[in-house]
Amino acid sequence: MHFEFTEEQLMIKQAACDFAQTELKPGVIERDEHQKFPAGEIKKLGELGFLGMMVAPQYGGSGMDAISYVLAMEEIAKVDASVAVILSVNNSLVCTGLEKFGTEAQKQKYLVPLAKGEHIGAFCLSEPEAGSDATSQRTTAIDMGDHYLLNGTKNWITNGSTASTYIVMAQTDAAKKHHGINAFIIEKGMEGFTIGAKENKMGVRGSDTHSIMFSDVKVPKENRIGDDGFGFTFAMTLLGGGRIGIAAQALGIAAGAYELALQYSKERKAFGKSLADLQAIQFKLADMATEIEAARLLCLKAAWLKDHGQPYAQASSMAKLFASDVAMRVTVEAVQIHGGYGYVKEYHVERMMRDAKITQIYEGTSEIQRIVISREVLK
């Protein structure tokens, strides 16, 4: 067992850290306040190879491993969790889905621009009445011979208005239940494709979350991913990897809030000494540091398993379950350490506390992670 990173992994971590500090930090409060999508920042991240991190270079990606992905996600989420989720959906769900399961033609047409960051992708599984219960898809894609006819509504779609390429799960044969679900590649602008209102969210407000409506959208047959009926397994397999990205995002939120609290506790004077000299604060910092380190190890373990071709669904759910709870606990404590200053926007930690909450909800709630883990341990 090695607890050391390679030089390349450390370089990627440093590059992500530098970008986050110099490019993301200056505008993060304003983007949160005004729900402003970080278009320029995402474009630059694309040019640096962060939109297709794990995609092979032959398809426009950076060919990095999952460990590097976790390291980069942590650094970015330390500063701007909205940017982290935009990257996570594009990298883990959309690019990986196309690279792993797409045809050569689908890869050339859709994956290459996504991996290069020229396009952004969205992953459309959730519906108004099918969130956690993902097998209950109401969106339908009827086989019309030479094309599918897509109808339905998707909810809570990250990159909803900024994406160009949407991977959409739909029911093609209700009698077959989840074996009748397929995944399709949909292009923005196809006739019958409409973007709904933007959600006014508690956190990750820089990311754009929308409902998406499909009304008689004609989907070419060649846009189905995988064999007929593969859509549910496709979505579940990808979410296994996606949860590593969200776990790393949660880790980053926690680590970012902890670093600010640590710095503040050294600077702020109370009762004639620094906050850091008070044992009440020292114990909080000790707990925060310990929990963050445990979350980090779970994230890295899941990534390591993925990199070594070993099953990682249980590990990724454990990482997400634990890291998202740590993000909540640590950000609440970071606000507490900052006292009244923690409650105002300039000090960043109140935003981090709001951002942390979504990591317990999307890509499977904490309850869903417990279902996945308990099924594995009871096998």
- Compute CA distances 147 → 150, 190, 351, whole Å: 10, 13, 45
Residue 349 and residue 254: Cα distance in Å, rounded?
Answer: 10
**By CB under 6 A, residue 233 contacts ligand CAA:** yes
- Compute CA distances 260 → 84, 160, 247, 250, 347, whole Å: 19, 32, 20, 16, 8
Q: Is 152 left (phi over 0), alpha (psi -120 to 50) or beta?
A: left
Binding footprint of ligand CAA, residue count (CB under 6 A): 23
Can you tell me which of 72, 76, 120, 125 binds ligand CAA, judged by CB under 6 A? 125
Q: Which amino acid is at 133?
A: D
Q: Of 191, 363, 367, 376, which one is the catalytic site residue?
A: 363
Minimum CB distance to ligand CAA, residue 359 (Å):
10
Stretch that binds ligand CAA, among 47-55, 123-131, 182-190, 247-255 (CB under 6 A): 123-131
Task: Please identify, using beta-carbon distances, which residue of 100 and 266 lies nearer to ligand CAA.
Answer: 100
Task: Please identify, using beta-carbon distances, which residue of 217 and 238 lies nearer to ligand CAA.
Answer: 238
- Residue found by looking up tokens 């702020």 in the block: 268
Task: Please identify, using beta-carbon distances, which residue of 55 and 89 lies nearer to ligand CAA.
Answer: 89
**By CB under 6 A, residue 134 contacts ligand CAA:** yes
Stretch that binds ligand CAA, among 5-13, 132-140, 303-311, 348-356 (CB under 6 A): 132-140
Residue 364 and residue 379: Cα distance in Å, rounded?
Answer: 21
Task: Please identify, using beta-carbon distances, which residue of 232 and 347 lies nearer to ligand CAA.
Answer: 232
Residue 250 and residue 14: Cα distance in Å, rounded?
Answer: 19
**By CB under 6 A, residue 9 contacts ligand CAA:** no
Secondary structure element (H or E) that encloses residue 167, with its range: strand 165-171
CB atoms within 10 A of CB 311: 11
Is the separation of the CB atoms in 192 and 183 below 8 Å? no
Known catalytic membership, residue 363: yes
**By CB under 6 A, residue 237 contacts ligand CAA:** yes
For the record, the structure tokens of 89 come out as 């959906």
**By CB under 6 A, residue 299 contacts ligand CAA:** no
Stretch that binds ligand CAA, among 42-50, 232-240, 288-296, 326-334 (CB under 6 A): 232-240
Is the separation of the CB atoms in 257 and 352 below 8 Å? yes
Minimum CB distance to ligand CAA, residue 157 (Å):
6
Residue 342: what are its φ and ψ, rounded to 5°? -65, -20
Task: Please identify, using beta-carbon distances, which residue of 52 and 240 lies nearer to ligand CAA.
Answer: 240
Sign for the pseudo-dihedral over CA of 202, 130, 124, 296: positive
Catalytic residues: 363
Q: Using CB under 6 A, list all residues that contact ligand CAA.
A: 85, 89, 123, 125-126, 132, 134-135, 158, 178, 232-233, 236-237, 239-240, 313, 362-364, 368, 371-372
